[in-house]
Amino acid sequence: MDQPAPPPLLALDGLGKRFGSLQALEGVTLDVQAGTVHCLLGENGAGKSTLCNLIFGVYAPSAGQMRFGERPWLPPSPAEALERGIAMVHQHFSLVPRMTVVENLMLGQARGVLNRSAFAARISDIADRFGFVLDPNAVVGELSVGERQRAEIVKCLMRDPKLLVLDEPTAVLPPGEIGALLDICRRVADSGRAVILVTHKLAEIAKVADSVAVLRTGRLVAQADMKTADMGALVHAMVGREVKPLDVALGDSNATEAAPPDRPGFALVCDGLSVQDRHGATRLDNFTLEVRPGEIVGLAGVEGNGQSELGMVLAGLLAPTEGRYFIGDTELTHAGAAAVTAAGGGIVPEDRHAVACVTAMSVAENMYLNKLDRFTRFGLLQRRALNEAASAQMKEFDVRAAGPEVAFSGLSGGNQQKAVLGRELTLDPLVALVAAQPTRGLDVSAVEAVYRQIRAAARRGVGVLLISSELDELIAVADRIAVLYRGRLVGERPAEMGERGAIGALMSGQVA
Amino acid sequence: MTTLVMTMPDRRRLMALSIPFAAVVGSMAVGLLLIAVSGKSVPDAIEAFLDGAFGTAFAFGASINRAVALALIGLGFILAARANLTNVGGEGQIAVGGIAATALALWAPVAGLPLGLAVIVPLLAGTLAGAVWGGIAGVMKVRFGTNEVISTLLLGFVALLMVYWCVQSTALLRQPQTSSSTLPESLPIPDATKLPGLTGDPESPLHIGLGICLLLALATAIVLQRSTFGLRLRAIGLNELAARRAGMPGSILLVVALGIAGAFGGLTGAIMLQGEQFYLKAGFSSGYGFDGLVVGLLSRGSTLGVLAGALFFGFLRSGGISMEIMAGVPSALTLVIQGLIVIAVAGSVILVEKLEGGQR
C-alpha cells in the first residue's frame, strides 16, 4: 500500500474523438492498473462506447495519446488490438447459434487440422481457473444469455489478454447471473490482468470495482478509488444533477397516486395465445392474461421465455397459432398492426431499431409514422404542419433533439424511446399500452421519464402491460406481476418488495 | 422543379454530382484513346459522333426519342428503388407494353375512336400490361419471398419470347402471310394510333412522348419528395418491419411499387411502338430496358439525374451508331465506353458515400 503505484497498464492522455460536428469524447486522461477492475460509468451517450472503441482500435482518436504497457498504443484494427493483448466483449455477441461452444471458439483461432478435444480441454481449463461452469460441447443456441456471455469471455481469455474490456455486460443478464459475472471479473483481475467494466447501473460497481471513472457528455467528470468513493457524489457526477434513486422516485409516485379508476371491462385480453415457430417449437403456450383499465400489469421473466413472441402478437405483426387477443371490445387476433393502432393499442416494441422506428428518417416522420394521413392533403405531405406538430410533441415528451427534421438515428436511446412512447401515448383513443423492455439501455433520467409517462397513462384509465426483465423496476411500477417461463404463465404475485424472492424463483422455473 | 429535387445540402450535392461528372469525362477520354489505338481517325470519329447525335433535325429527334425511352425506364426504376426494390425487368416490361399496344392499335374499332382516344387507348393498354408484369414480380416477392432481381429479370426473358411468339403466329399479331417471304412482323399500326409529332417538320421524328416523359418526371419528383406515398415507400425500403408496425400495408406497397415501375416500362414500349417503330417485330425492345436500368442506377435516386443520364446515353447511342457507319468505328467501342462510364460512376458513387459516411 505504501509503495509508489506501479506504472499503469493502460494510460490515456487527453484522448478525444470527434465525429463530424459531434465531439464524442474530449480530454480523457485515465490510468488503468494491472490487477484491478476499473469501472467506466456514464449515462447513454456519455461516450463510454466510443472510449472502448478507441482502446480496442475500432476508431482512431482525433486527439491525445494512449500507452499500453511500455509502448504507445494505437491499434489499427480490433484484430491487431487482440493480437497485442486487449480483448473486448461487445454488447452483442458474435457466436454462431447452431454450433457448439468449442466450434465457436475454434472459429478464427484454429489452424489446419481441427483438434476439438484439445480445444475443449483448454476451455474447461480456463473455466476452472476463473471459477465458472461452461460445457464446451453445448450448442450455443440452447444456452442461456449468461452462458453465452461466458463463452464470449472465454473466447477473449483464450487469447491471454492483459486487458479485458466488457461493454455493458450486465445489461443482458437476469438478476441472478449478474453476481456470477462480477465474480468472474474479480478473478480475471486477480490473475494480474486488468478489467474495464462499462455500465450505467450504479449498484453493480460497488461490489466489484477497484476504481471508477465517470463520463458525462464525452468528458471525464469524476474519478475515484472505490474504497473511498461516495456513491451519491458519483451519481451526481454521472447525471449532472441530483436524482433520487429509481426505487425511491417511483416509490414516491406510487404512494401519492390515487387508486386507478375502477372501470368496467378489460383494456386488454389475451385468451389462450400460443405461438409455434417455424420449427414447430412452442414459444408461447396458452397465454391468458387480462388487464383492466388503469391497471399496470408487469410481466416478468428472463429474456427469451416468450416475451418477444408475445410482443409481436400484441403488436399485430405475428398471427398466433392459437388463441384470441382483444383490445377493449375489438378482437385483433388476425387483424394486423394498423387495426391494433385503430383499436387504441399503443405498442412500445422491445427492439427499438428494428420495429419501433425508421432510424434514417427524421424525428418528426418517426413521431407520426402511424398518423401520416393526418398531415396528407391530396396525397401530398404537409411537412410544415408535421414538423410543427412534432415540435410540440417533442416538448411535451421532453424529446431532446436539434429539431424535428434531424435524423432519428442522431438521438440518444433515451430520447428515441421518449419519442416512440410519445407517438404511442398520443393515440386517440388509447385503450391499452404494451411496453416491452421500455427502459433497456436507457440512462437513469430517461428511465424515470418513461415510467412517469406510463404511470400517467394508467391514471388516465389506460390498461398497461409492462414486459420487462428488470424485476426491481416491475416491482416499483406495476400493480401486480405475472411471470412468464418457457412461454407459459407460471404464476402471479403482488408487486411488493417482499415478493422479490418468490418472483425470482418463478422466473427461474422453480414452481413456487 | 429544382427545389423539388434539391433535397441534399448544396455542398454535398455538388460533390455528389461533380464526382460522377469527372468519371464520365475520364471514361470518354479513355474511349477516344481506344479509338486512336484502333487505328481510326479520332477527328473523323468525333465528327461522325456529333453528326449522328445532333447533326440534323432527324438525328437530334432520334436521340431525344432514345432519351425519352431511357428516362421513362429510369423513372420507374428510382420509384421502386425508393422502396428498396431493384427492378431489372425493364426490357420485358417494354416488350409486354409493345405487345399490348400493338394488339389494341391493330384492333379495328380503336383506330376509329375520337378525341385522341385512338392514341391513348393503346398507350394505356401498354402501361397496364407493364404494370401487371411488374406486379407479378411484386406478388411473388410478398407471397413467396422471391427476390425481385431474379423474378423481374426472368419475367423479362419470358416477355421477350412472347414477342417472338406473337410475331411468328398469324393467330396472334403476325401480318397475313401472302408469300413465303412475309416477314415475321405485325402489320403497321394505323396512322390514327400513331403519336402526333411535336414539330410541324415531317423530317423530325420528335413526338409527344417527350411531353409525356417530362410530365411524368415532374410527377415522379413530386411523389418522391412531397407525397405521403413517397414517404411510405421510403419507410418500407428502409425498415419494412417498422413500417408495418406503423400500420402501413407493406405487401401492397411493395406490389404497387413494382407495378408502377412495370407501368413505366409498359408505357415506354407503347411509346416506342406508336412513336417510332409502328410495327412489332422480334428484338423490338433492343436493350432500352437495360440501358434505362443503368440510367436509373446512376441517378442516385434523383429525377434530374435520370433526365440527365437519359439524355447522355440517348446521344451516346445515336452518336455511336453514326460513328460506326460513317467513321468505321466498331459500335462495340461505344458499348465499351458505356461500360467504362458505368463502372467509373458506380465507383464514384461508392466514393461519395464513403466520404459522407466518414462523418458519422
Q: Which residue has the higher pLDDT, B32 or A463?
A: A463
The answer, for B3 touching chain A at a CB cutoff of 8 Å, is no
- Domain assignment of residue B308, yes or no: yes
- Domain assignment of residue B342, yes or no: no
Q: Which residue has the higher pLDDT, B204 or A36?
A: A36
Predicted local confidence at residue B90, as pLDDT: 92
| Contact call for A356 and B245, based on CB within 8 A | yes
- Mean pLDDT is highest, among A402-411, B45-54, B251-260, for B251-260
The answer, for A379 touching chain B at a CB cutoff of 8 Å, is yes
Q: Please give, rounded to a whole number of angstroms, the shortest distance from the CA of A60 to a CA of chain B.
A: 12
The answer, for A338 touching chain B at a CB cutoff of 8 Å, is yes
Find the residue in A nearest to B235 (Cα).
Answer: A358
CA–CA separation, B137 and B140 (whole Å): 5
What is the tens place of the pLDDT at every residue in A238-248?
766 544 444 44
| Contact call for B359 and A369, based on CB within 8 A | no
Q: Lowest-pLDDT range, A431-435, B235-239, B323-327? A: B323-327
Predicted local confidence at residue B4, as pLDDT: 44
Q: Which residue has the higher pLDDT, B126 or B23?
A: B126
Q: Lowest-pLDDT range, A273-277, B86-90, B155-159, B336-340? A: B336-340
Predicted local confidence at residue A164, as pLDDT: 92
pLDDT tops 70 at residue A176: no
CA–CA separation, A90 and B23 (whole Å): 41
- Domain assignment of residue B178, yes or no: yes
Per-residue confidence band for B356, with pLDDT thresholds at 50, 70 and 90: low
Task: Give contacts of A342 with chain B, Cβ < 8 Å.
Answer: 247
Predicted local confidence at residue B35, as pLDDT: 85
Query: Structure pTM?
Result: 0.71
Find the residue in A nearest to B222 (Cα).
Answer: A380
Provide, rounded to the nearest whole percent, the portion of chain A with pLDDT above 90: 27
Per-residue confidence band for B11, with pLDDT thresholds at 50, 70 and 90: low
Q: Which residue has the higher pLDDT, B5 or A403?
A: A403
pLDDT tops 70 at residue B136: yes
| Contact call for A360 and B247, based on CB within 8 A | no
Q: Which residue has the higher pLDDT, A332 or A92?
A: A332
Q: How much is the average pLDDT of A322-351?
A: 91
| Contact call for B235 and A19, based on CB within 8 A | no
| Contact call for A379 and B228, based on CB within 8 A | yes
How many contacts, defined by CB atoms under 8 Å, are there between A and B?
A: 74
Q: What's the per-residue H, E or C state across chain B?
A: CHHHHCCCCHHHHHHHHHHHHHHHHHHHHHHHHHHHHCCCCHHHHHHHHHHHHHHCHHHHHHHHHHHHHHHHHHHHHHHHHHCCCCCCCHHHHHHHHHHHHHHHHHCHHHHCCCCCHHHHHHHHHHHHHHHHHHHHHHHHHHHHCCCHHHHHHHHHHHHHHHHHHHHHCCCCCECCCCCCCCCCEECCCCHHHCCCECCCCCCCCCECHHHHHHHHHHHHHHHHHHEHHHHHHHHHHHCHHHHHHCCCCHHHHHHHHHHHHHHHHHHHHHHHHHHHHCCCECCCCCCHHHHHHHHHHHCCCCHHHHHHHHHHHHHHHHHHHHHHHHHCCCHHHHHHHHHHHHHHHHHHHHHHHHHHHCCC
Per-residue confidence band for A45, with pLDDT thresholds at 50, 70 and 90: low
CA–CA separation, B340 and B294 (whole Å): 12
Q: Tell me the DSSP string of A85-144.
A: TEEEE-SS----TTSBHHHHHHTTT--SS--HHHHHHHHHHHHHHTT----TTSBGGGS-
- Domain assignment of residue B201, yes or no: yes
The answer, for A347 touching chain B at a CB cutoff of 8 Å, is yes
The answer, for B226 touching chain A at a CB cutoff of 8 Å, is yes
The answer, for A361 touching chain B at a CB cutoff of 8 Å, is yes
pLDDT tops 90 at residue B92: yes
Predicted local confidence at residue B84, as pLDDT: 92
Predicted local confidence at residue A358, as pLDDT: 92
Tally of domains in chain B: 1
Task: Give Cβ neighbours of residue B20 (< 8 Å, ≥ 6 apart).
Answer: B298, B344, B345, B348, B349
| Contact call for A372 and B238, based on CB within 8 A | no
Q: Which residue has the higher pLDDT, B205 or B92?
A: B92
The answer, for A372 touching chain B at a CB cutoff of 8 Å, is yes
Candidate from A19, A365, A379 with C-beta closest to B227: A379
Q: Lowest-pLDDT range, A83-97, A146-160, B18-32, B85-99? A: B18-32
Q: Lowest-pLDDT range, A130-139, A265-274, A349-358? A: A130-139
Find the residue in B nearest to A352 (Cα).
Answer: B242
- Domain assignment of residue B140, yes or no: yes
| Contact call for B228 and A372, based on CB within 8 A | yes
pLDDT tops 60 at residue A259: no
Question: What range defines the domain where residue B306 resides?
Answer: 43-329
| Contact call for A376 and B245, based on CB within 8 A | no
Exposure class string for A51-88: b at 16+ Cβ within 10 A, else e: bbbbbbbbbebeebebbbbeeebebeebeebbebbbbb
Task: Give contacts of B249 with chain A, Cβ < 8 Å.
Answer: 338
Task: Give contacts of A311 with chain B, Cβ < 8 Å.
Answer: none
What is the tens place of the pLDDT at every residue in B298-312?
888 889 989 988 998
Average pLDDT score over chain A: 84
Predicted local confidence at residue A139, as pLDDT: 87
In order of their start, the domains of chain A are: 10-242 (3.40.50.300), 249-360+413-507 (3.40.50.300)
Candidate from A317, A373, A380 with C-beta closest to B226: A380
Predicted local confidence at residue A3, as pLDDT: 58
Q: Lowest-pLDDT range, A5-19, A59-73, A233-247, A415-429? A: A233-247
Predicted local confidence at residue B91, as pLDDT: 93
Per-residue confidence band for A512, with pLDDT thresholds at 50, 70 and 90: very low
The answer, for B247 touching chain A at a CB cutoff of 8 Å, is yes
| Contact call for A19 and B238, based on CB within 8 A | no
The answer, for B198 touching chain A at a CB cutoff of 8 Å, is no
The answer, for B12 touching chain A at a CB cutoff of 8 Å, is no
Average pLDDT score over chain B: 85
The answer, for B54 touching chain A at a CB cutoff of 8 Å, is no
pLDDT tops 80 at residue A367: yes
What is the tens place of the pLDDT at every residue in A106-123?
887 767 777 888 888 888
Q: Which residue has the higher pLDDT, A19 or B30?
A: B30
The answer, for B242 touching chain A at a CB cutoff of 8 Å, is yes
Provide, rounded to the nearest whole percent, the portion of chain B with pLDDT above 70: 93
The answer, for A368 touching chain B at a CB cutoff of 8 Å, is no
Predicted local confidence at residue B13, as pLDDT: 65
Find the residue in B nearest to A376 (Cα).
Answer: B228
Find residues 58-117 of chain B whose CB sits inside 8 Å of chain A: none
CATH code where residue B301 lies: 1.10.3470
Candidate from B245, B248, B360 with C-beta closest to A349: B245
| Contact call for B229 and A337, based on CB within 8 A | no
What is the tens place of the pLDDT at every residue in B121-133?
999 999 999 999 9
Task: Give contacts of A347 with chain B, Cβ < 8 Å.
Answer: 245
DSSP type of residue A260: P
Predicted local confidence at residue A298, as pLDDT: 93
CA–CA separation, B227 and B225 (whole Å): 6
pLDDT tops 50 at residue A253: no
Predicted local confidence at residue B154, as pLDDT: 93
Exposure class string for B133-153: b at 16+ Cβ within 10 A, else e: bbbbbbbbbbeeebebeebbb
Q: Lowest-pLDDT range, A14-18, A168-172, A358-362, B135-139? A: A168-172
Q: How much is the average pLDDT of B15-25?
A: 75
| Contact call for B222 and A361, based on CB within 8 A | no
Q: Please give, rounded to a whole number of angstroms, the shortest distance from the CA of B223 to a CA of chain A.
A: 8
